[in-house]
Chains A and B, each alone.
Chain A
Amino acid sequence: METGALIKLLSEGTVQTLIMTLVGTLVSYIIGLPVGVSLITTSPNGIRPMPLYNKVMGFIVNVIRSMPFLILMIAFMPYIRKIIGTGIGTAATTAALILAAWPFVARMVEQSLLEVDPGVIEAAQAMGASNMQIIRKVLLLEARPSLLNGAAVATITILGYSAMAGTLGGGGLGDIAIRFGHYRFQPDVMWITIIVLVILVQIMQEIGVRLAARLDNRIN
């Protein structure tokens, strides 16, 4: 393959991967963040215990999380195709990513919020804070560094999923690695996509860690 075509192919793939990853992460958080918060607040020791909701939601999250991403994608592709009209390419992959990632995000959020000192929540309750105020001003703010670290991990996991989706014609860097690197025996293309993926992961991790540290007032 000539260098110009290769660069064009790779840059298109990188952009597709980034779009799938970022949109997928964003939407996963739009669903997973409130679910994670609700798992904390409705737990037996939470600020508004709701045992039935807590059990049911916990079960749903566990069921989806126990399916390997590729299996989940194959199983749900017919439905995704029905809803958005296509089963391949970035749009279909993004939908599958969200489906697989929101429960993961919910658990990450739950773990972060668990780190918030129950004493501080009690103090806020004693001050007459409403549950909504406790969620917004205590839980989410006190757990902010941990949530940001978690977001970096979630983004990288979703990037990994998106690359896996390439084996099913999902577009992006994974797709290129499979089609050119594997099927056409072009190890150079394979290795270049791997290097690009490694660089992307490094950048995401670095952004997450730095942001978390900068917005953490416990150490400075």
Chain B
Amino acid sequence: MADHIISLQGVTKEFDTKGGKVVALHDINLDIKRGDSYGIIGLSGAGKSTLVRTINLLEQPTEGKVLFDGKALTGLASKDLNLQRRKISMIFQQFNLLMQRDAIGNICFPLEIAGVPKAEAEAKAEELLKVVDLEDRAHSYPSQLSGGQKQRVAIARALASDPEVILCDEATSALDPKTTRSILALLKKINEERGITLVVITHEMEVIKQLCNKVAVIEGGEIVERGSVQEIFANPKTKAARRLFFPDGQNKEKQITKTSTKRRVRLAYDEKTAHEPIIANMIMELGAPVNFLYANLDVLGGEQIGQMVICLADDKETAEKQKEYLANAGVKFTEIPEDYDFSEEHGEEAGE
């Protein structure tokens, strides 16, 4: 068993269009560990859909290799590729269910393709309907199901072939917020209880926050930043990441920080520090005030993560003491230069 269930090595994808060659992906290197829930986030047109389609070779990379469980998928004959594809399921934004088959029929479909006897396939499909909480809709057709129910059928269908990986291509982008949460919870459960690796393509930070432990930020066909979700959320290094992680936070920050520009620091605190009144303690202990400009608290994979922008004390000495205090308290912070332009971070809104 290879350590990495999926490895992309130097994957480049070019499309020939009327206007010439378009590079959709440029030299992508990506390793995904077994059991990870790996998010790939980017704006529309960043190349994330193309990227996920190279994993199961729905898109053939122009250059580079795709490894699944240590074995190259690129270069396989279509028959062998089809066998490997049964271990990599996929769910879609538009669900892509067969409209002429009922829920059970849809779930049986991958088993039928694999040549599983009908009775056996149906028994398994019934079982999976329970997993996705739809046992009462076994004989409903997709046209009779809501969006959330359709995605549940699609998830059951994805589970039918006992896959090692499920690729989720904007799986919740067509759903309302409440349904999105329930679908994400279901996917998380599948990831945790069955140990199925998830690759989650999305343009929404909420999806990453609720579902993923790792994340890669993709922009202009390249991965610009990657790491654990906590790490990147607490300390996003690239503009692309900041733009995606705080689409409206950044906007507010921009407004709020217009007035004071001196000695600004951006704080990030985690589960431990989020529970403690660190700033209040600091003010009391050092006897110097700070000015709050912006604050935000989020829950990431069950952990609280906070973001805050404050102005430190006016005189340099006290400000240094305050920084020291924060560092000792285990709060990560970065200083924001006086001429820092927040508006640069805030690009167009993420969305389709």
Contact = CB atoms under 8 A, between A and B. Distances in A.
A4 interface: no
B263 to A, nearest CB: 53
B89 interface: yes
Interface string A114-130: 00010110111111111
A216 B100 contact: yes
Given A122-B58, A218-B141, A129 B113 contact: yes
B68 interface: no
A119 B141 CA distance: 17
A24 B58 CA distance: 40
A220 B83 CA distance: 36
Contact of B92 (A119, A129, A130, A137): A119
A110 interface: no
A128 B113 contact: yes
22 contacts: A117-B94, A119-B96, A120-B99, A125-B58, A125-B85, A126-B88, A126-B90, A127-B86, A127-B89, A127-B113, A128-B82, A128-B110, A128-B161, A129-B82, A130-B82, A133-B113, A137-B109, A138-B98, A141-B101, A218-B99, A218-B143, A220-B141
Given A137-B113, A217-B101, 18 more contacts: A119-B94, A122-B96, A126-B90, A127-B89, A127-B109, A127-B113, A128-B81, A128-B84, A128-B110, A128-B114, A128-B161, A129-B82, A129-B113, A141-B101, A217-B100, A217-B143, A218-B143, A219-B143
A138 B99 CA distance: 10
Q: What are the 7 tightest A-B residue pairs by CB atom distance, in nearest-first order?
A: A128-B85, A128-B82, A123-B96, A119-B96, A126-B90, A128-B86, A127-B110
- Tell me which of A122, A142, A144, A217 has the highest count of chain B C-beta atoms within 10 A of its own C-beta: A217
Main secondary structure of the interface of A (DSSP, over half): helix
Contact of A142 (B92, B100, B144): B100
A218 to B, nearest CB: 5
B100 A218 contact: yes
A144 B100 CA distance: 9
A219 B141 CA distance: 9
A123 B99 CA distance: 13
Contacts of B88: 126
B83 A128 contact: yes
The size bracket of the interface on A is 20 to 34
B129 interface: no
Contacts of A219: 143
B89 A126 contact: yes
B102 interface: yes
Given A127-B109, A129-B82, A120 B97 contact: yes
Interface of B: 56, 58, 78-79, 81-86, 88-90, 92, 94, 96-102, 109-110, 112-114, 141-144, 161, 167
Nearest to A216: B100
A88 to B, nearest CB: 44
Contacts of A125: 58, 85
Contacts of B81: 128
A214 B90 CA distance: 31
Contacts of A137: 109, 112-113
A126 B56 contact: yes
A120 B143 contact: no
Contact of B100 (A123, A130, A141): A141
A130 B82 CA distance: 7
Contacts of A130: 78-79, 82, 113
A127 B161 contact: yes
Nearest to A130: B82
A120 B92 CA distance: 10
A137 B143 CA distance: 19
Contacts of B58: 122, 125-126
A117 B109 contact: no
B98 A120 contact: yes
Interface string A80-121: 000000000000000000000000000000000000010110
B352 to A, nearest CB: 15
Contacts of B114: 128
B185 to A, nearest CB: 23
Nearest to B82: A128
Nearest to A220: B141
Contacts of B96: 117, 119-120, 122-123
Contacts of A220: 141, 144
A123 B85 CA distance: 11
- Tell me which of A119, A128, A130, A141 has the highest count of chain B C-beta atoms within 10 A of its own C-beta: A128
B329 to A, nearest CB: 49
Nearest to A126: B90
Contacts of A218: 99-100, 141-143
B92 A123 contact: yes
